[in-house]
Structure 1
C-alpha cells in the first residue's frame, strides 16, 4: 500500500515572496530595475538641421520678387478652372483606355498562343521604350503621313479628325496601357495556380475563370499601383501642353503671357495639381482598404480613425504630464 501524502503546510516548499527571499542575498528582495532611455542625439541634430534648411527656404521666398496677392486672385479664375476640368477629363479617359487595354494585353502576353503573346510583348516594348511627349507629337502630326482618314464607312481629312484632345487621349491612353499591362500581368500571376486548375475541373471556361476567379483576387495587387499610375497621369497630362491641348498648364501659361506673372501662375497650377492628387490619393486609400477585405484579419484604420487615435494619444500625454 502507498503511504498517505503528508499535507502538513509546515513541510510544503515556500511559495510566493518566500522563494525570492530565500534566493536573494541576505534574505532581502531584489531591487527594482530602472530602465534608462537611450539618448538619440542624432535625431535632435538632424531635426535642427532640417528646421534650419526650411527656415532658410522660407526667408528666401519671403524676400523673392513674387506678387503673392496674384495667386488667390487667379486660383479660381474661369480659365484656370476650365483647364483643371480638362486635365481631370483627359486623365480619367486616358486611364480608362489604359486599364481596359492593359488587361487585354496582359491576358494576351500570358496566352499560350505565340502570335498574341508576341504582339503584346512588342506593343509593351514600343510604348514603354519611347517618351510620352514623342508619342503625343507623333499622333498630333500624323496628318503629315496620312492626310486622309478613310475607314470605308467614314472619310475625312486627318487634320479635322486629329484634334489636340484626340491626340492627347491616344498618346496618354495607349502609353498607359503598356504600363498597366505589366501591372495586370503581375496581379494575375499572383493568384495561386491551383485555383485555376480547380475552376477548370469544375467546368469553367478560361474566360469564366479569368472573370470570376482570377481577376477579383488579382485586384488586391493591381489596385495600389493603378492608383499610383492615376496620380502620375494627372501630372503627365501636363505634357499635352506641347500639342496645344487646353489643360491646366496651358491655361496658366496663357494667362502669364498676358499678365507677365509667370511664376505666380505656375504656383497657381501647382496648387491645383496638389489639390487633385490629394483628393485622389484619399480615394485610392479607401479603395485599397475595400479590396483588402478577406485578405487581412484587421482592416487598416480609416483616415478619421487615425486622426481620432492621434488626438486620443495627445490628450493622454497631456493628462499624464
Structure 2
C-alpha cells in the first residue's frame, strides 16, 4: 500500500507541475490552436493548388504539364523541414510576415504536390467509356469533366485524401523549427522547464491521436455515405 500511495503522490505532483502549475494546460491549448490554424491554412492552399496542378499535369499542352510535373517531383523529393526553412530563411528572409502565414504557405505548397497526384489518380481511375458516353450525349469536355468525371473521382480519391489530411496535421509538428509555438513546441518547452518529458509529450501525443482518430471517423462516415449513394 505504501508503494501505491507513494507512486500516486508522485503522479499527482507531476500532473500538477506539468499541466496545472502556471496555467500550462492553457499553453497546450494555445499550441493546439496554432496547430489547427496551420493545418486548415495548409489544407486549403494544398487542395486548391493541388487540383490546378493535377489538371496541368494531365494537360496535352507541354507548357502546362512539364512545369507541373517538375514541381510535383521536386516537392515530393525533398524533406518538408527543408522546404519550411527555405521559405522562412530564404523566400521570406527580407519580408516581415507572420510566421503562421509562412508556415501555412510552406505546408500548403508541400501538400499541393501530394493532392495533385491524389486528384490525378482519381480522375484517371474513371472509366474512359463514361467520358465517351458523356461526349456522345452532347456534353462539352468541361461539362463531361464536371458532371461525370469529377463526382466519381472524388469518391475514388477520398480515402487517400483523408490520409493526406491526417499526415498534414501531424506534419505541422515541425513548425517549431521556425520558433512557432505549436502543440509539439509547447510540450517541448514545458519539458525543458519541468525536466519531465512524460506528461507534456504524452499529453501532446494524446491530443494528436484524438484529432486524427476523429478525422478518420468523420471521413470514413462520409465515404460510406458516398458508397450508399452509388448503390441507390
Q: TM-score range by the shorter chain?
A: 0.7 to 0.9
Instruction: Output the CA distance in 2 between the equivalents of 1:114 and 1:268.
Output: 50
Comparing both structures, which one devotes a greater share of its residues to helix?
2
Matched, 1:110 2:110: no
Regions of 4+ moved over 3 Å: 65-68, 70-76, 294-297
Matched, 1:131 2:79: yes
Task: Give the structure 2 partner of residue 199 of structure 1.
Answer: 134
Choose the corresponding residue for 2:15, options 69, 73, 81.
Answer: 69
Task: Give the structure 2 partner of residue 311 of structure 1.
Answer: none
What do you get for the CA RMSD once the two structures are aligned?
2.3
Instruction: Judge conservation of contact 2:19–2:200 (CA < 8 Å) in 1.
Output: no
Instruction: Output the CA distance in 2 between the equivalents of 1:278 and 1:203.
Output: 45
Task: Give the structure 2 partner of residue 288 of structure 1.
Answer: 223
TM-score by length of 1: 0.64
Choose the corresponding residue for 1:243, options 178, 200, 204.
Answer: 178
Instruction: Judge conservation of contact 2:125–2:153 (CA < 8 Å) in 1.
Output: yes
Matched, 1:231 2:231: no
TM-score by length of 2: 0.86
Q: Which string of whole-angstrom CA distances, capped at 9 and with x for unpartnered residues, describes residues 83-115 of structure 1?
A: 112211211221121111111111111111111
- TM-superposed CA distance for 1:262, in Å, is 2.7
- TM-superposed CA distance for 1:261, in Å, is 2.5
- Which of structures 1 and 2 has the larger relative contact order (alpha carbons within 8 angstroms, sep 6+)? 2
Task: Give the structure 1 partner of residue 212 of structure 2.
Answer: 277
Instruction: Judge conservation of contact 1:241–1:247 (CA < 8 Å) in 2.
Output: yes
- TM-superposed CA distance for 1:236, in Å, is 0.5
SS of equivalent residue, structure 1 residue 203: coil
Q: Max radius of gyration: which structure?
A: 1
Instruction: Output the CA distance in 1 between the equivalents of 2:73 and 2:88.
Output: 21
Q: Which string of whole-angstrom CA distances, capped at 9 and with x for unpartnered residues, describes residues 34-87 of structure 1?
A: xxxxxxxxxxxxxxxxxxxxxxxxxxxx8xx97653466479811111111221
Mind listing any 5+ residue stretches in structure 1 that lack a counterpart? 1-61, 148-157, 298-321
Aligned length: 221
Instruction: Judge conservation of contact 1:136–1:172 (CA < 8 Å) in 2.
Output: yes
Q: Which string of whole-angstrom CA distances, capped at 9 and with x for unpartnered residues, describes residues 243-266 of structure 1?
A: 112210111122222233333211
Distance 1:275 1:76, change over 3 A: farther
